[in-house]
């Protein structure tokens, strides 16, 4: 490996991935490294990722982003979870909310206490014991000083990229306009050395971040990182994205509405609503998907439906030589649980944690790739869970999903929960135990037993325990304002 110091980082491509990388590196490492970003106004970005998960707040804290200014600039609203409609079966809905449900004990999660209460007929719906779930159901929200609500954002991704660009440039990052015509490599090491633009300009650098989207111009076309195709587990390969006018106040959650061969998203912003249909082209034509989407839209169209084609999967290596892939160039697992922006963030932060200031070292490369592989595989399993654990058999698509082979790692989680009610979070995994429990229960998977420690509580004591949690949740949520009212007061778009 080369041991030259890294003095100049070149980011190929803009959009959310490119500008998140540029803003982060310029703000947090910029005094010691030069940052340049190459993008072309002629090349559009996918720009669909409008829903996030709570980890984005951690990055914003690192970047010292003031929440109100950010939300005002991007037309943002708040998100407490995702409503999954028709996933368990047609007409059956549930919410996967952020935060925690109930109270665990040292030996067993809250679901065990809830399960016994359910057998006794005293438990309410599982989500009733969760602040975020009940606030979402009642369309209420506030940013609380004691952080009693875990939340994320809905925002306009093109405005977000512009917001991050402004920040990156304030911290010294340089934007270079132009289309990349040629990627240069060192003839001996194979390391990238520069990018030639159509104008003839040569951009030389010591390290390169590939944010060129699905085509992976650097990581795949040049460095041949390889790709693991997961479309046999995550079969949707197409999407249509469209924006509509708001016709009702924005709700504090994303809607994911399952249809015959895919699912529809609905994301409420301050100034419009983001919509789309994710579908499998083996079971639906584009015309069929578009007809279903148009028939289920609310409000006047702001844009015409825009098609997006993708293959679910991941690069075999996210870091090769002196190049890291970030965003769609590293792979894509569809937007079902709003993980795309999170994975951009994790790639950027992990790269900065392992920043090869004195030059690229193979142990760093190997560790980065191992950590990214573990993270994306755990995320993959969580997404497959939604499709596979279902009672839907009404269409060929859902019959395929229900009967398909799944990874052994996911089968183990399903078997463990079904037989014992137990869920264990893998270290560094994105989704916690509560997320797995909510989705498994929501998809209709109920454990055959609960932990015996629950029997240490008498029946009256268990009832008091459950009622006390519910009363506390109800009291907190009852004090919250309506979501739209809070947004108008807190961060109305400029």
Q: Domain 8-50+156-228+312-360 sits in which CATH superfamily?
A: FAD/NAD(P)-binding domain (3.50.50.60)
Report pLDDT digits (tens) over 428-468: 889 999 999 999 999 999 999 999 999 999 999 999 999 99
* Average pLDDT score over residue span 118-145: 97
Domain with CATH 3.50.50.60 in the chain: 8-50+156-228+312-360, 82-149+238-309+388-494
pLDDT at 1: 45
- The average pLDDT across 396-403 equals 98
Tell me the mean pLDDT in the region 124-143.
98
Q: Is the dihedral of CA 477, 480, 485, 489 positive or negative?
A: negative
- Mean pLDDT across the stretch 190-215? 97
CA distances (Å), origin 211, targets 46, 91, 306, 384, 489? 12, 40, 21, 26, 36
Q: List active site positions.
A: 79
Instruction: Give the pLDDT mean for 2-22.
Output: 91
Q: Is residue 254's pLDDT more than 60? A: yes
Q: Looking at residues 180-200, what average pLDDT do you find?
A: 97
| Beta strand spans in 127-272 (E) | 152-154, 174-177, 180-185, 192-197, 202-204, 207-210, 227-229, 238-244, 254-259, 262-268
Q: pTM of the entire structure?
A: 0.96
Q: Give yes or no for residue 46 having a pLDDT over 70.
A: no
The number of beta carbons lying within 10 Å of the beta carbon of residue 328 is: 25
CATH architecture of the domain formed by 82-149+238-309+388-494: 3-Layer(bba) Sandwich (3.50)
């Amino acid at each position: 490996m080369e041991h030259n110091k890294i003095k100049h980082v070149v980011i190929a491509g803009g959009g959310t991935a490119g500008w998140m990388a540029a803003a982060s590196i310029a703000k947090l490492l910029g005094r010691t490294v030069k940052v340049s970003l190459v993008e072309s106004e002629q090349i559009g970005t996918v720009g669909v990722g409008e829903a996030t998960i709570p980890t984005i707040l951690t990055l914003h804290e690192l970047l010292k982003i003031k929440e109100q200014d950010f939300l005002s600039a991007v037309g943002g609203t708040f998100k407490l979870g995702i409503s999954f409609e028709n996933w368990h079966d047609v007409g059956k809905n549930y919410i996967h909310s952020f935060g925690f449900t109930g109270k665990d004990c040292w030996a067993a999660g809250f679901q065990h206490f809830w399960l016994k209460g359910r057998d006794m007929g005293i438990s309410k719906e599982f989500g009733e014991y969760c602040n975020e779930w009940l606030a979402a159901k009642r369309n209420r929200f506030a940013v609380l000083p004691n952080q009693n609500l875990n939340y994320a954002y809905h925002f306009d991704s093109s405005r977000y990229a512009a917001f991050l660009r402004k920040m990156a440039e304030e911290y010294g990052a340089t934007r270079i306009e132009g289309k990349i015509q040629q990627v240069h490599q060192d003839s001996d090491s194979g390391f990238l050395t520069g990018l030639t633009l159509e104008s003839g300009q040569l951009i030389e650098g010591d390290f390169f971040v590939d944010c060129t989207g699905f085509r992976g111009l650097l990581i795949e076309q040049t460095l041949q990182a390889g790709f693991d195709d997961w479309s046999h587990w995550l079969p949707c390969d197409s999407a249509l994205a469209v924006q509509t006018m708001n016709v009702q106040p924005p709700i504090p959650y994303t809607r994911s509405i399952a249809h015959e061969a895919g699912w529809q998203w609905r994301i409420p912003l301050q100034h419009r609503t983001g919509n789309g249909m994710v579908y499998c082209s083996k079971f639906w034509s584009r015309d069929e998907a578009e007809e279903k989407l148009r028939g289920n839209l609310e409000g006047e169209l702001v844009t015409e439906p825009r098609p997006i084609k993708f293959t679910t999967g991941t690069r075999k290596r996210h870091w090769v030589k002196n190049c890291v892939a970030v965003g769609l160039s590293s792979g894509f697992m569809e937007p079902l649980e709003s993980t795309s922006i999170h994975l951009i963030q994790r790639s950027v932060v992990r790269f900065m944690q392992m920043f090869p200031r004195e030059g690229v070292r193979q142990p760093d490369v190997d560790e980065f790739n191992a950590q990214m592989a573990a993270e994306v595989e755990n995320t993959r399993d969580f997404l497959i869970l939604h499709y596979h654990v279902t009672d839907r058999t009404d269409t060929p698509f859902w019959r395929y999903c229900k009967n398909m082979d799944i990874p052994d790692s996911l089968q183990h989680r399903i078997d463990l929960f079904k037989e014992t009610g137990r869920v264990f979070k893998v270290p560094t995994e994105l989704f916690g135990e509560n997320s797995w429990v909510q989705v498994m229960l929501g998809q209709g998977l109920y454990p055959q037993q609960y932990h015996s420690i629950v029997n240490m509580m008498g029946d009256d004591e268990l009832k008091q325990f459950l009622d006390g949690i519910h009363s506390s949740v109800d009291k907190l949520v009852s004090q919250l304002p309506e979501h739209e009212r809070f947004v108008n007061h807190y961060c109305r778009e400029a």
